[in-house]
Amino acid sequence: MLQVEKLAFGFPGRSVGRDVSFALADGEVMCVLGPNGGGKTTLFRTLLGLLAAQAGRVFLQGRPLDSLSRQEVARHVGYVPQGHAGQFAYTVREVVLMGRTAHFGAFAAPGRKDYEVSDRALTTLGLQALAERPITQVSGGERQLALIARALAQEPRLLVMDEPTASLDFGNQVRILQRIRRLASSGISVLFSTHDPDHAFLAADRALLLAEGRALEIGAPRDVIRADTLHRLYGVSVSVVPLAGGGHTCLPSLAA
Amino acid sequence: MNARPVSYVATVAVLFALAVLAFGVGRYPVSVGEIFSLLASKLTGSEHALPANVETVILQVRGPRILAAVVVGAALAAAGTAYQGMFRNPLVSPDILGVSGGAALGAVLAIFLSLDILMTQALAFAGGLVAVGLVYAVGSRLRGHDPLLALVLTGVIIGTLLGSAIALLKYLADPYNQLPAITYWLLGSLASITPRDLSAAAPLDLAGLVPMLLLRWRINLLALPDDEARALGVDTRRLRIMVVACATLMTAAAVAISGIIGWVGLLIPHAARLLVGPDFGRLLPLAMIMGAAFMLGVDTLCRTIAPIEIPPGVLTALIGTPFFLWLFAFARRSW
């Protein structure tokens, strides 16, 4: 689905990261962990083709990313940004319909099929009741779900989600992680970033640890998320505790 | 949902009623019956028994002026709607972005150089485009500030600069012929509109309008942060340039025949958005009808409430200023 080879990324005149290589299979979930300013968002923007790669290559379903038009990229990759309301009171349904833009011509407006796909995305995320509500008047969790629905309306093969659980309450965080697993089981690949390593244990097949723009480790969460790697990423002491029913959880220590 | 068709029908009805009123009132009153019998005879080609004066007043005097009010009001409202969506900012308008000021400078320069109406329009368009380009380029480079505030303040600063250039031209202008024309024009007026002005402005307004109507869905996406719109498949740079050019063309065409009439482009899109929501495809037609009705109402008031004509820009400012203050102070944060 997605193949990244020795990618260097950053802004014109400023390098943020380099030498990142990985591949993502269909239906695979990868979680990117790293401190603030570690380059997660810049990496994602580069993978979406919003920033030009400084070196290395990105392939989307075997085709070089930089050879694809914006419209072609949008038909393959859905982007879920960090939630925000925007200035205008578009309804939730209108916001989701915007996900269909890449599927019709520049002079066209959404047609019946686009409404059907959007309504399906709304139903998938349990938002039918909110369809006519202005996006500016729903809760943060609902807005995040609407942005995921918008990305689903793109009918993507890959979802890129930038901290989808940030600023959500505990229940909504769990619900988002459930959605991610369910999307993966329907064959969609997911790349998401988070500040909570437990989310990688819960929802990801693999984790990418990004420190100062370099991939520290890539692998199954239980292999790469360890006390020593977490200390290198975040500079704090953490125990990774195995749980009775299988799985692991991270427990930070407050002792200096 | 159900309020939407009602909004269109109601505003069209208001526009129609205002047009009938505008034909009727004035120094030479014409009755509703006379208006309709003239209209009927023109449509069927039959003779009518009305005094020649009535025909002159309706067809030669008030007709072009009413049409001009409709065209100018609709164009300014359409441009304001596009700018507000595109700059993700409900407070911008052709006035605030410097478009009106730039267009005014272009047109004043044309008067100063004694150029004809087509050159006046061309210079107004160029001036408007340069001004909005400058405001956007400078405003978006001021990092570390609230982008909304940066854009508005840059508009004010560039507007001041344009204002002093206009003042310089007024100072240099021939005080007997050019200065009165410039002053009159800067205050805005529909009084001396000729059918020839209208036939010069209407095609330009149409040329700006058609791409906007065609691109109606995509223009919605310009209200999103750039990254998001691009991730959804839109080439935002190209689209934004196109929409700015269209909106500026419409503003310049209007400004070139009517002079500067402020506030319409700010006020009307807001009012329309309150009725039908922000979707551009629904918003644009309603804003144009409301803009036409507003301009027609204002112009009719301007020529009837006092023994001398009041410049319409004065009246729109009287209505617009409190509205803008209310918006800034009390309105909710989202539209």
Do the chains contact at B279 and A50, CB–CB below 8 Å?
no
| A180 vs A163: CA distance, rounded Å | 12
| Mutation for testing the A interface, residue in B149, B232, B282 having most A CBs under 10 Å | B232
Smallest Cβ–Cβ distance between A70 and the set B89, B235, B273 belongs to B235
For residue B260, report the phi and psi dihedrals to the nearest 5 degrees: -85, 115
Chain A contacts to B (CB-CB under 8 A): 45, 48, 50, 69-71, 73-75, 77-79, 81, 84-91, 94, 98-99, 101-102, 106-110, 132, 134, 136-137, 150, 154
- Does residue A159 have a pLDDT over 90? yes
A132, closest residue in chain B (CA to CA): B1
pLDDT in tens, B16-39: 999 999 999 988 889 888 888 888
Q: What is the mean pLDDT of residues A56-69?
A: 95
pTM confidence score: 0.89
SS3 A62: coil
pLDDT in tens, B97-153: 888 889 889 989 999 999 887 888 789 889 988 998 898 888 878 766 666 678 778
Structure tokens at B294: 């507003």
Say which DSSP state A98 is in: G
- CA–CA separation, B43 and B55 (whole Å): 14
Three-state DSSP class for residue B32: helix
Tell me which H or E stretch contains A14. Answer: strand A14-24
- Smallest Cβ–Cβ distance between B223 and the set A88, A102, A150 belongs to A88
Residues of B in contact with A79 (CB under 8 A): 227-228, 231-232
Q: Show residues of chain A in contact with B276, CB under 8 Å.
A: none
Instruction: Give B-chain residues touching A78 at CB under 8 angstroms.
Output: 231
Say which residue the tokens 């507007």 belong to.
B159
Closest CA to B221 of B238, B206, B205, B246: B238
3-class secondary-structure state, position B320 = helix
Question: Which residues on chain A are in Cβ contact (under 8 Å) with B331?
Answer: none
Query: What is the count of residue pairs from A and B with beta carbons less than 8 Å apart?
Result: 94
More confident residue, B185 or A16: A16
Q: Mean of the pLDDT values across residues A120-142?
A: 92
pLDDT in tens, A78-102: 999 986 767 788 999 999 999 999 9
Q: Is B327 on the interface with A (CB under 8 A)?
A: no
Task: Spell out which residues of chain B touch residue A136, defining contact as CB-CB under 8 Å.
Answer: 333-334
Residue B162 structural domain: 3-330
Measured between beta carbons, which residues in chain A are less than 8 angstroms from residue B273? 88
Residues A226-249: what's their mean pLDDT?
92
Is residue B181 a part of any domain in this protein? Answer: yes
Report CB contact under 8 Å: B89, A84: no
Three-state secondary structure call for residue A59: strand
**Stretch A19-40: mean pLDDT:** 94
pLDDT for A225 equals 95
For residues B200 and B118, the answer to whether their CB atoms sit within 8 Å is yes
Phi, psi of B240 (to 5 degrees): -65, -45
For helices B3-24 and B264-276, angle between their N-to-C axes, nearest 10 degrees: 140
CB < 8 Å to A81, chain B: 225, 227-228, 231
- Rounded CA separation B290/B283 (Å): 10
Which of B85, B214, B224 is facing A107, going by the closest CB pair? B214
- Asked if B146 is an interface residue toward chain A (Cβ–Cβ < 8 A), one would say no
Q: Is residue B335 part of a domain?
A: no
- Kindly state the percentage of chain B with pLDDT values over 70: 95
Does B234 reach chain A within 8 Å, measured CB to CB? Answer: yes
The size of chain A, in residues, is 256
Report the SS3 class of residue A52: coil
DSSP state at residue A91: B
Q: Does B217 touch chain A (CB under 8 A)?
A: yes
Residue A256 is predicted with a pLDDT of 64
- pLDDT beyond 80 at B329: no
Alpha helices in chain B (DSSP H): 3-24, 32-44, 52-55, 63-86, 99-112, 117-141, 147-172, 178-187, 195-214, 216-221, 226-231, 236-258, 264-276, 280-304, 312-330
The answer to whether the Cβ–Cβ distance between B220 and A73 falls below 8 Å is no
Sheet of A2-11, strand order: A14-24, A2-11, A55-60, A63-64
Substitution target from B210, B274, B334 for chain A, most A beta carbons within 10 A? B334
Q: d(Cα A156, Cα A74) in Å, to the nearest integer?
A: 8
Is B277 part of any domain? yes
Q: Are strands A2-11 and A14-24 parallel, antiparallel or unpaired?
A: antiparallel
Between A56-65, B10-19, B71-80, B220-229, the lowest mean confidence (pLDDT) is in B220-229
Closest residue to B228, CB basis, from A79, A85, A132: A79
| Gap between the Cα atoms of B67 and B55, Å rounded | 16
Which CATH number do you get for residue B82?
Answer: 1.10.3470.10
A85, A88, A89, A95: CA torsion to nearest 10: -70
* Residue B318 to chain A, least CA–CA distance (Å): 27
At residue A211, what is the residue type? A
Q: B112-135 in b/e burial notation, b at 16+ Cβ within 10 A?
A: beeeebebbbbbbbbbbbbbbbbb
Contacts of A107 in chain B (CB under 8 A): 214-215
| B218 lies within 8 A of chain A by CB | yes
Residue B52 lies in a domain: yes
Nearest to A101 among B88, B218, B278 (CB): B218
Residues 6+ positions from B260 with CB-CB distance below 8 Å = B100, B103, B104, B185, B186, B187, B188, B313
Q: For chain A, say whether B232 makes contact (Cβ under 8 Å).
A: yes
Instruction: Write out pLDDT tens, residues B177-232.
Output: 889 888 887 888 898 888 888 888 899 999 999 999 999 999 999 989 888 999 99
| Closest-CA distance of chain B to residue A140, Å | 15
Q: Does residue B142 sit within a domain?
A: yes
Q: How confident is the model at residue B1 (pLDDT cuts 50, 70, 90)?
A: very low
Interchain contact, A90 vs B279, CB within 8 Å: yes
3-state secondary structure of A63: strand
Complex ipTM value: 0.91
| Domain assignment present for B155 | yes
Domain total in chain B: 1
Sign of CA dihedral B315, B318, B324, B327: negative
Count the neighbouring beta carbons within 10 Å of the beta carbon of residue B147: 14
pLDDT more than 70, % of chain A:
99
